[in-house]
Structure 1
Amino acid sequence: MVEYFTHDERLGISIPSFDWNWGQYPEHVQQTILYQWEKIRGKIPDRIAELEEFINMKQAQLSDEGNFIKSCELNSEISELASIINDLWLWYRTNQDISEKVHL
């Protein structure tokens, strides 16, 4: 199933990566892809929770940080983590309708 998904280092999950239009894949391949995506998609909330823990740790560091430069770095890191979480939610929600086809 690796050929239909590419691991995204930034997001920490594999995302769909197709060489053809969806309709060009045989139905049994579509079902296999959808099943695999549903397994990946199910891990997204756990990945988000993990990133939220990092944000909380960085916010705690930020509240104790007196160095302006270090505070800026922490704010930047928090912002990047929040951006990743946003992208993960987009993947989770965007593909929800497609994932429901697995159960039809």
Structure 2
Amino acid sequence: MQQHFTFNQRLSIDLPTIQKDWEALTSIEQQQILVHWETVRGKIPDRIKNIESIINRKQEELSNESDFETSCKLNHEIAELASQINELWLWFRTDQEVTLKGHF
């Protein structure tokens, strides 16, 4: 399965990296890929929840921060985390129909 997925450090999940056309894979390989993807996909809401709690902590820090440079740094970190959430939602919405066509 490792050959069809690569761990994405930024998102902390495996992402599909299928090198062949979907039709070139055996039905067993296709099924294994789909099962693994659904397992990964099922963990995305928990990952998002975790990131949201980090954002909340950083927003609390920001509301108590008086140093401009530190405030800018916190804003940048919050924006990066929000970007990760957006990307995770995009991957989560990748449904099985798209998956079956091999559009990763």
Question: TM-score when scaled to structure 2?
Answer: 0.91
* 1:48 corresponds to 2:48: yes
Identity of counterpart residues, as a percentage?
50
The one-letter code matched in structure 2 to 1:39 is T
1:20-74 deviations in Å (ceiling 9; x for gaps):
1111111111011000100000000000000001000000000000001100000
| Residue correspondences, number | 100
**For the aligned residues, what is the CA RMSD?**
1.4
Q: Which residue pairs with 1:28 in the alignment?
A: 28
Any conservation in 2 of the 1:34–1:98 contact (CA below 8 Å)? no
Unaligned 5+ runs, structure 1: none
The within-5 A match list for 1:53-64 is 53-64=53-64
Displacement of 1:99: 5.9
Q: TM-score, normalised by structure 1?
A: 0.91
Output the CA distance in 2 between the equivalents of 1:73 and 1:81.
Answer: 12
Q: Does 1:16 align with 2:16?
A: yes
CA distance in 2, matches of 1:68, 1:19: 47
Indicate the SS of the match to 1:94.
coil
| Structure showing greater relative contact order (alpha-carbon pairs closer than 8 Å, 6 or more residues apart) | 2
Deviations 1:69-101 (A, max 9, x none): 10000000000000000000000002353469x
